[in-house]
Amino acid sequence: MNIKKVNAYIKKFDEKMNKPSSDFTEKEFYVGVDLGTANIVISVVDKNGEPLGGASYPSSVVKDGIVVDFLGAIKIVKELKQKVEKDLGIEITEGFTAIPPGVEEGSVKAISNVIESADIAVIKVIDEPTAAAKVLKITDGAVVDVGGGTTGISILKDGKVIFTADEPTGGTHMSLVIAGNYKITFDEAEELKKDKDRENEIFPVIRPVVEKMAVIVKNFLKGYDVDTVYVVGGACTFKGFDSVFEKELGKKVIKTYKPLLVTPLGIALTNI
């Protein structure tokens, strides 16, 4: 993995979300729809995997891969779809999506139904850490996707996924700890968690949650020859996150630029 190239690639997607490719003329493009616990994201790339644009919306309509507000989810996806179509001058009719590892088949169907109810035919569903690996361009190692509700992992060997798993500890648990510590509401804790000016104050509070995530990953890695762990997902954005993981795992841990964007971008790359 070339971290500089990967970071530049993710940064390009970030920039295109704010300033889409209005001069895009090719007919061939690929779409990813990520129904995350904290955010819903639509990503679009061209046939070579170059980012064209995208849109995101903070939401709580999905919890740990389970749709808890079906109509709300459809409304958000439709609005994001319309925005991206207008930005890029395209019509989105089909796309890919991803789920946390280990999600039950019924929940997979529910997620697909949301997207298809928003007039996007789902071509394929993959697991989130595998989608992230597409962006990281790795063939060996472990990809850990720390989402809003779960910590998921995919272990790769020679370009093939040999193990996936998922456990319920994520950004939501961080917010619950913050809410309890400061005696504030969950929504207030969510906002406080995202306040970069107070990151040094907040991280010691949620450090036990990060340590628990690391223990989860350590247990998943037992019996596998893994040298490097790649962490992605919105809940790992704290600057002390990777050092806690390295200490617990005793392995090299790599975190990218804006890890929240890695999986959504990777979903669009599913067939590239």
Domain presence at residue 266: no
Asked whether residue 226 carries a pLDDT value surpassing 80, the answer given is: yes
Q: For residues 115 and 144, state if they share a domain.
A: no
Q: What is the pTM of this model?
A: 0.89
177: pLDDT strictly greater than 70: yes
Domain end (from 99, 126, 153): 126
Torsion of CA 238, 244, 246, 249, to 10 degrees: -130
Residue 63 has pLDDT above 80, yes or no: no
Same domain for 245 and 213, yes or no, is: yes
Q: Are residues 100 and 158 in the same domain?
A: no
DSSP state letter for 236: G
The verdict on 199 and 120 lying in the same domain is no
CB-CB contact of 143 with 220 (8 Å): no
Cα 195 to the center of its chain, rounded Å = 20
Distance between CA 5 and CA 247 in Å, rounded? 26
Nearest-CA neighbor of 39 among 220, 239, 235, 266? Answer: 235
pLDDT score, position 64:
61
3-state secondary structure 98-143: EECCCCCHHHHHHHHHHHHHCCCEEEEEEEHHHHHHHHHCCCCEEE
| Beta strand 94-99 pairing with 29-35 | parallel
Q: Residue 191: which domain range?
A: 133-260
Domain boundary among 82, 102, 126: 126
Asked whether residue 265 is assigned to any structural domain, the reply reads no
| pLDDT tens sequence across 113-143 | 999 999 999 999 998 888 998 999 998 999 9
- pLDDT over threshold 90, residue 249: yes
Domain stops at, among 126, 148, 173: 126
pLDDT in tens, 203-215: 999 999 999 999 9
Structural domains in the chain (count): 2
* Residue range 77-116, pLDDT digits in tens: 999 999 999 999 999 999 999 988 777 777 788 889 999 9
What phi and psi values does residue 119 have, to the nearest 5 degrees?
70, 35
Residues 18 and 122 in one domain: yes
At residue 29 the predicted structure's pLDDT band, cuts being 50, 70 and 90, is: very high
| CATH number of the domain encompassing residue 40 | 3.30.420.40
Per-residue pLDDT, 37: 74
**Residue 272 in domain:** no
